[in-house]
Amino acid sequence: GAVVSQHPSWVICKSGTSVKIECRSLDFQATTMFWYRQFPKQSLMLMATSNEGSKATYEQGVEKDKFLINHASLTLSTLTVTSAHPEDSSFYICSAPRQGNQPQHFGDGTRLSIL
């Protein structure tokens, strides 16, 4: 069964709305989680590393004020797309490693469509 749960799986909303996406590790504690963005038929691009109890680390070119990340517990990280616009429409995926350099477990992704 899934070890990382991501919700919601699909969001359609109006331009200007803020959207929160949750990523939960179900049977392990994740001090680190990762957030990716994927455009159609393209690869995953890492947006940020979510660190439990501290600030997220953003990749170059990712607006931290646009994509707010909160990792308040060892099993939950949230990504909030603030004041979303059509260009923010994409597939967002989270992941978490059980520990260290072990394979990462991925959520099922969230398809965000901004009208």
71 binds other proteins (CB under 8 A): no
Nearest distance, CB of residue 38 and other proteins, angstroms? 9
Give yes or no for residue 78 binding other proteins (CB under 8 A): no
Radius of gyration of the chain (CA): 13
> Rule CB under 8 A: is residue 108 a binding residue for other proteins?
yes
Q: Is 1 in the site for other proteins (CB under 8 A)?
A: no
d(CA 106, CA 62): 21
Half-sphere exposure at residue 94, Cβ-oriented, CA atoms within 13 angstroms:
32
Cβ atoms 114, 89 nearer than 8 A = yes
62 binds other proteins (CB under 8 A): no
For 114, the token pair is: 């901004």
What does the block give as tokens for 98? Answer: 């059980």
- The answer, yes or no, to whether the previous bond of 97 is cis (omega within 30 of 0) is no
Cα 6 to Cα 79: distance, rounded to the nearest angstrom: 11
> Which residue of 7, 17, 22, 46 would you call a contact of other proteins, by CB under 8 A?
46
Instruction: Confirm or reject binding of residue 111 to other proteins (CB under 8 A).
Output: yes
Q: Is 54 in the site for other proteins (CB under 8 A)?
A: no
Asked if residue 91 binds other proteins (CB under 8 A), the reply is: yes
Instruction: Summarize as ranges the residues that interact with other proteins (CB under 8 A).
Output: 4, 6, 32, 34, 41-46, 49, 91, 93, 95, 97, 100-109, 111
